[in-house]
Amino acid sequence: MAILMCRPDHYGVEYEINPWMHVETGVDREKAGSQWQALYSTYRDLGQTVELVDQAPGQPDMVFIANAALVHGSTAVLARFRHPERRGEEPFWREALADRGLRLREVSPAVTFEGAGDALFVSDRIFAGHGFRTDIEAHRELARWFDVEVVSLQLVDPFFYHLDTCFCPLAPEVVMFAPRAFSPQSARTIRALVPHVIEVPTWLARDFICNGVVVGDRLLSSTGVEKLDGELHHEGLAATALPMTEFLKAGGGVRCLTLELD
Ligand code: ARG
């Protein structure tokens, strides 16, 4: 798997667009750098190819590269951010992904879409979130671009404002999710469509453990994920817990810092 990451050279909490962010809470820049580096090194040690995109000054959330686009095959559907605070990232993502030879697609002008933060492949379906950042209209457009079924899921808890904060594909037939972050109907949909689910209580999901990435038989996620060792073991996975405290201050974790390319 090839992965794109963005080194936190200009990272900070400079505005508040989700309930985790408080501008008065200082980010420890050095610690953020070493937490990011630990994730980068873990990917490299596990044999992944990691490419880097430079962080632009004045775009503090660019480190959360998962939101740049949804990439599948040679197609990337670019983000259109909900908040003006992040719209400035869009030209940088367009350029970075075009440079990698991807075919770029965009959702319709008035529609918002926050990339792989709100759209995740599980086997041959896309599970997509709406309610906070991505408009449900974007889901139909994804279905068209990728020619796949899109399952729309309604997010209801502002602390879990992107799908990847509360839903994590672990294998083609296995997902981990935090039921209370979804409308009751959407939680039922997940249980009905996915053969194996690990249900994560809200208190644990608040450590951002659903914001993980599977590499081989490892689930890389935030500290706290080791509490699910038993359930993960049952699915043939082992947890690698990485401290993400500095990124949690902006509402992000392991998966947010990662953009998977096919
Ligand atoms: N501060 C960022 C925002 O609110 C965090 C993005 C987290 N990314 C993610 N894929 N969940 O937009």
pLDDT tens readout for residues 135-176: 999 999 999 999 999 999 999 999 999 999 999 999 999 999
3-state SS assignment for residue 16: coil
Residue positions counted in the chain: 262
Whole-number Å distance, alpha carbon 247 to ligand 1 midpoint, is: 9
Sheet order of strands, 218-222 included? 213-215, 218-222, 238-242
Q: Is 149 left (phi over 0), alpha (psi -120 to 50) or beta?
A: beta
Q: Which parts of the chain sit beneath pLDDT 70? A: 1
pLDDT attached to residue 86:
98
Whole-number Å distance, alpha carbon 201 to ligand 1 midpoint, is: 21
| CB-ligand 1 contact for 154 (6 Å cutoff) | no
What count of other Cβ atoms lies within 10 Å of the Cβ of residue 85?
16
Question: 164, 187 in Cβ contact below 8 A?
Answer: no
| CB-ligand 1 contact for 129 (6 Å cutoff) | no
pLDDT attached to residue 32:
98
Q: Which ligand 1 atom sits closest to the C-alpha of 118?
A: 10
How would you label 160-170 residue by residue, b for 16+ Cβ within 10 Å and e otherwise? bbbbbbbbbbb
What count of other Cβ atoms lies within 10 Å of the Cβ of residue 2?
13
233 is known as an active-site residue: no
